[in-house]
Chains A and B, each alone.
Chain A
Amino acid sequence: MKVSLISLFLILALVVGGCATKPETNASVERQELKVDPEILYALTVSELFEDRLPQADGSSLLQVQFAVDVHSNADLAWKVTWFDDTGMTVKGVGEGYRKATLITGQTRYFRATAPHSRVASYQLHLREPQ
């Protein structure tokens, strides 16, 4: 009697445990690697976006991102790379601000950014027009 009661209790516990809501671990929206604000699209086209891992002497590697823009019209550009580790959490860089560049018609400009830590696994590049 006692054994069957314990067994029933264990089965119930397992069923209830299985029904428990699992914590949300995945992003609800897939993150874009490149985000370009519509306001700046009239002035440029992103023609290249590369990423590479730089091998380090201690066996680690650093993510490096390079992008190129073809300029159609004189404009100011603000850009920023946000870094993420393999769990999707942000990794802090040196500063939080956007980097600024002045673009001239006909130019192809190349920009590069290096991840602040070897645990960086992905990134998001945001291009916008400074207000």
Chain B
Amino acid sequence: MLKKAIALSAGVLMLSGCATPTRYVDPAADDGPVAMTMDYRDFEKAATEAVEDMLASGAVVNPNGGRYIMVVSRITNDTMQRIDTDQLTKKIRVSLLRSGKVVTTTAVGLNGAEDEMTMRARELRNSEEFDQSGVQKKGTLQAPDLSLSGKILQRNHKVGSEQQVEYYIQLSLTDLASGLAFWEGETPIVKRGSNSSVSW
């Protein structure tokens, strides 16, 4: 019995010794293996292409000066994975904000405000508990000029003994005054790998 316990302990120790150590990955120098699913490098590629194309097209430049106000609309996830589309839109928002051309409103959204505090803070109006000079006045919120919407699609194919997974990241930037799409872009991300790899 004791011999068995010792052998088992030794086996566990040996296996844990062989395990790959956990390490940090530097996104600026990541040549690591590619997954069949969408990873951060795919979102970065799509966001880079979208932002560079938006800036180069001039679609996000307000000819009257100042910054355009953008709202993030629906980004549909039509893939087999559970994707938080904020992973994509946040990169785009941050980059457009840094460009000095666009600012995103968090006070409006399809499913309510992204930051509900904008409206909650206004509920303090007429409250005797709060110094009213610091409470937000009526008519100060800014309505959006542009809306960012899109879709992430996935298509799977068998290619010989391998499988091919295609992702399409489609984005539109709509001018809310006219309803016209000022900018549209599509980034295809195609991966080919073992049939045993899972893409969901």
> Which of A's residues lie within 8 Å of B, judged by CB?
54, 56-58, 60, 62, 64, 78, 92-99, 113-118, 130-131
By the criterion CB–CB under 8 Å, are A94 and B95 in contact? Answer: yes
**Can you list 9 contacts pairing A with B, beta carbon distance less than 8 Å?**
A54-B56, A57-B61, A78-B31, A94-B48, A97-B27, A99-B45, A116-B52, A117-B98, A131-B31
By the criterion CB–CB under 8 Å, are B95 and A58 in contact? Answer: no
Q: How far is the CA of A116 from the CA of B58 in the complex (A)?
A: 13
Q: How far is the CA of A62 from the CA of B55 in the complex (A)?
A: 8
- Asked whether B51 is an interface residue with its Cβ less than 8 Å from the other chain, the reply is yes
By the criterion CB–CB under 8 Å, are B65 and A95 in contact? Answer: no
Q: How far is the CA of A118 from the CA of B27 in the complex (A)?
A: 25
By the criterion CB–CB under 8 Å, are B56 and A62 in contact? Answer: yes
Q: Which of A57, A94, A96, A98 contacts B52 (CB 8 A)?
A: A94
> Which of B's residues lie within 8 Å of A, judged by CB?
27-31, 41, 44-45, 47-48, 51-53, 55-56, 58, 61-63, 65, 91-92, 95, 98-100
By the criterion CB–CB under 8 Å, are B55 and A95 in contact? Answer: no
Q: How far is the CA of A99 from the CA of B47 in the complex (A)?
A: 12
What B residues does A116 contact at CB under 8 A? 51-52, 55, 95, 98-99
For the complex with contacts A94-B48, A94-B51, 16 further pairs of A-B residues with Cβ separation under 8 Å are: A57-B61, A57-B63, A58-B61, A58-B62, A58-B63, A62-B55, A93-B48, A94-B92, A96-B27, A97-B28, A97-B44, A98-B28, A114-B53, A116-B95, A116-B98, A131-B31
Q: How far is the CA of A62 from the CA of B53 in the complex (A)?
A: 12
By the criterion CB–CB under 8 Å, are A93 and B62 in contact? Answer: no
What A residues does B51 contact at CB under 8 A? 94, 116
By the criterion CB–CB under 8 Å, are B62 and A95 in contact? Answer: no
By the criterion CB–CB under 8 Å, are B47 and A94 in contact? Answer: yes
Using a Cβ cutoff of 8 Å, how many contacts connect chains A and B? 65
By the criterion CB–CB under 8 Å, are A95 and B27 in contact? Answer: yes
Given A64-B56, A113-B52, A116-B95, A97-B41 contact (CB < 8 Å): yes
Q: Which residue of B lies closest to A117 (CB)?
A: B99
Nearest CB in chain B: distance from A119 CB, A: 8
What A residues does B56 contact at CB under 8 A? 54, 62, 64, 114
Nearest CB in chain A: distance from B101 CB, A: 8
Most buried by B among A56, A92, A95, A131: A95
Given A54-B56, A56-B58, A113-B52, A97-B30 contact (CB < 8 Å): yes
By the criterion CB–CB under 8 Å, are B27 and A114 in contact? Answer: no
Nearest CB in chain A: distance from B69 CB, A: 15
Q: How far is the CA of A96 from the CA of B136 in the complex (A)?
A: 39
What B residues does A92 contact at CB under 8 A? 98
